[in-house]
Amino acid sequence: MNAAAIRSFFATLKAANPQPVTELEYTSVFELLTAVLLSAQATDVGVNKATRKLFPVANTPQKILDLGLDGLESYIKTIGLYRSKAKHLMETCRILVERHGGQVPRTREALEALPGVGRKTANVVLNSAFGEPTMAVDTHIFRVGNRTGLAPGKTPFEVEMQLLQRVPPEFLVDAHHWLILHGRYVCQARKPQCWQCSVAAYCDFKPKTPAP
């Protein structure tokens, strides 16, 4: 995919969805961090179902700590890997209270120092909460980047670096959301919906035509 095609690709996605947002539900930076922590190997729908019950009761680091581990687990037990996620979240809350005054830090280094927070989670928080032009490469973005020719790479980090270099600056802040939504609903893993794809004209992928 050349530079002109990349610009047209994102201009088309922007025209269809001018202000894309994450499908995770949150009303504060801490709620976003919590939701993203819980979303690893889980669906946004599943996370939202749990946090709709959790956040009205505990939506600050101190309130999560006050729940205790068993209490927290009772709210998130419908989410995969909930026991390890609960431990990570409790320890993260403890660090936020002790080292950051209960606030979510705004630097990558400080975010990645939190238990259960890797590069992808830090990128989501930096982008969605603080408006940083970061690129959180999940399975959808990794697939779309490689399949379309937008940002080929063998690892999520390689795809991230390619995207940061190749996406025009005016699209960079929102590109993460457009690519996730495109991968989730159109450029799907097993059956890409090429016949209804608005950016198929700019894509390097050539779907196999069914035999007559």
> Does one domain contain both 58 and 117?
yes
**150 lies in which domain range?**
3-20+134-202
CATH number at residue 191: 1.10.1670.10
> Does one domain contain both 99 and 41?
yes
Domain final position from 72, 104, 128 = 128
Model pLDDT, residue 211: 41
**Any idea which residue has 């025209």 for tokens?**
15
> Does one domain contain both 35 and 9?
no
Catalytically annotated residues: 120, 138
Answer yes or no: is 208 within a domain: no
> Does one domain contain both 38 and 108?
yes
Q: Using CA of residue 70, residue 119, residue 124, residue 16, what is the dihedral sign?
A: negative
Which tens digit of pLDDT belongs to each residue from 11-60? 999 999 999 888 889 999 999 999 999 988 888 899 999 999 999 999 99
Domain final position from 128, 160, 189 = 128
∠120-66-50 over CA atoms, to 5°?
Answer: 50
Model pLDDT, residue 124: 92
Which tens digit of pLDDT belongs to each residue from 135-152? 999 899 999 999 999 999
Please count the other Cβ atoms lying within 10 Å of the Cβ belonging to residue 76: 24
> What does the radius of gyration of the chain's CA atoms come to, in whole angstroms?
19
CATH number at residue 120: 1.10.340.30
> Does one domain contain both 71 and 97?
yes
> Does one domain contain both 37 and 122?
yes
Going by C-alpha positions, the residue among 192, 145, 161, 206 that lies closest to residue 6 is 145
Choice among 95-99, 101-105, 166-170, 206-210 with the minimum mean pLDDT: 206-210
> Does one domain contain both 102 and 121?
yes
Which tens digit of pLDDT belongs to each residue from 129-138? 999 999 999 8
Answer yes or no: is 212 within a domain: no
Domain count, the chain: 2
Q: Using CA of residue 180, residue 182, residue 186, residue 187, what is the dihedral sign?
A: negative
Going by C-alpha positions, the residue among 132, 112, 131 that lies closest to residue 122 is 112
Model pLDDT, residue 177: 92
> CA dist 125 to 79, 153, 172, Å?
20, 23, 15
**Which DSSP string do the residues of 47-97 spell out, in sequence order?**
HHHHHHHHTTT--SHHHHHHHHHHHHHHHHTTSTTHHHHHHHHHHHHHHHH
> Does one domain contain both 113 and 197?
no
